[in-house]
Structure 1
């Protein structure tokens, strides 16, 4: 039985050192680490590599369940994949060991709470944004594109929507948003939408 560790933090400014040290102390010969959000599985290449590498009888070791996933569906999908390969899961900071009935039950409970925590955080964030909007403090993200510049490039420089998008380094659909005349009537002579 080989122990493989997986460490994850959500942002680039967070440190993986404590998790990696805990995984080494737990006996992991190989540890894969990454700085990616746990709310979605997509884009987590280190986890994908590790899941492909695991063989029957191996054990995947993490520090806490929320390091593996913050969505109950992702957690269940990963667990199903591990189970189908004959791989068990252990957590160093929680009584999770899927080779036992009690460990499996605790794993399921922790998964529910990890998703609950994520949903609570999202609700608090939305409430904060709504309150900030009411106070006139929150105006959203700064616009990436200047509508007047789009119109100027179209009317004065006679550029097509594609050329405008390339020059401003934005999607062509963004250009169309500020040039509704391109959507309803054919473009002026010499210009292609």
Structure 2
């Protein structure tokens, strides 16, 4: 046993301090469980608080070449969602697109490349629920070497990709790259909650 404060060793040395209880370890942070995938419901509005975006969403299809149509250039504040893919919050990869700018000036996703991991993208659906996605990473890919499978491939959980143009701009060819935000579902807000948050 450790001697108490008044005890001395055989040689008369100074007393050994009483043993102190070791400090309690800080409580472990438990990771919040991811929400279950949502049933299908079309996207209606998209908000990205970190870059002050709140915009209506319209459904888009593919052209004859299999490329996703862009939102109309005469309404640069619109976001497009690939309506033939998973809806936001449903299991799989939902895809949203928007212009960076148009001939008339800046557009809805001008600052998309400024997003950081941990930022959120909130998609309000037709059923009133808001699917909250947390950004995992942001990448810029040259259009000639665009990784289709990585960006558009299937996922076993609800994920979201948000795309716009990026890289160098050429007046004849347009932008040389695409900015892609990778995010996954981390929360679901009930109807009306997104407006208060």
Instruction: Tell me if both proteins adopt one fold, taking TM over 0.5 as the criterion.
Output: no
The TM-score bracket by the shorter chain reads under 0.3
TM-score, normalised by the number of residues in structure 1: 0.24
Structure 2 length normalisation: TM-score? 0.24
Q: Which structure would you say has the larger Rg?
A: 2
- Which structure's residues are more often strand, by fraction? 2
Which structure has the higher relative contact order (CA within 8 Å, separation 6+)?
2
